[in-house]
């Protein structure tokens, strides 16, 4: 039977088990939190992003989640600089043109700060003269730093990014660094 792990990846942790590129001063990796042989990440989450990462020993499942052609929806909570107006939200919903081409349409909703959200270590930079707000964004592709590039494209850079859901899997009550079987 295949094993699937839900992991709440903390800020600053690489989505891999080793950091061979930085052998002199290794960065935090999955191996600092998970000691399970044979499971591998199904997709990636940037080092400076937080939240749900799936790990599995099922190669087919791993490919289905990670490959954009399967259009597995991924939902993020993005804390952005400023308060996007309806035109900015609609641009994200239609899809925006990035340097590597147009994005697929996204589901975008303005939300309150997600309930039971943990504090980030280190905290985001706060500018008293610039407000921030939260968006829930669902995409069905997974380009490098896509959500960050999309929000920046409409004039609202992402300050904090948390993946809350992949397909039918969700963070639930997992705290940063915690994992459980799906």
Q: Which residues have a catalytic role annotated? A: 46
The phi, psi pair for 137, rounded to 5°, reads: -125, 125
Handedness of CA 62, 120, 170, 100 (dihedral sign): negative
Angle at CA 8, nearest 5°, toward 2 and 21?
90
Dihedral over alpha carbons 45, 176, 152, 73 (to 10 degrees): 50
Q: In this structure, is the dihedral angle defined by the CA atoms of residues 61, 143, 86 and 134, taken in order, positive or negative?
A: positive
7 phi and psi, to 5 degrees? -130, 135
Integer Cα distance of 20 and 109 in angstroms: 39
């Amino acid at each position: 039977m295949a094993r699937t792990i839900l992991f709440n990846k903390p800020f600053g942790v690489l989505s891999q088990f080793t950091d061979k590129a930085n052998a002199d001063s290794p960065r935090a990796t999955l191996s600092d939190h998970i000691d399970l042989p044979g499971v591998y990440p199904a997709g990636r989450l940037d080092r400076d992003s937080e939240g749900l990462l799936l790990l599995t020993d099922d190669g087919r499942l791993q490919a289905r989640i990670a490959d954009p052609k399967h259009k597995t929806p991924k939902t993020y909570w993005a804390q952005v600089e400023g308060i996007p107006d309806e035109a900015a939200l609609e641009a994200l919903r239609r899809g925006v043109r990035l340097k590597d081409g147009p994005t697929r349409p996204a589901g975008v909703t303005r939300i309150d700060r997600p309930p039971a959200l943990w504090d980030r270590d280190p905290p985001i930079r706060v500018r008293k003269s610039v407000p921030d707000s939260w968006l829930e964004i669902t995409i069905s592709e997974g380009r490098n730093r896509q959500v960050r590039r999309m929000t920046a494209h409409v004039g609202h850079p992402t300050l904090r990014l948390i993946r809350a859901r992949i397909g039918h899997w969700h963070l639930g009550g997992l705290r940063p660094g915690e994992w459980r079987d799906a």
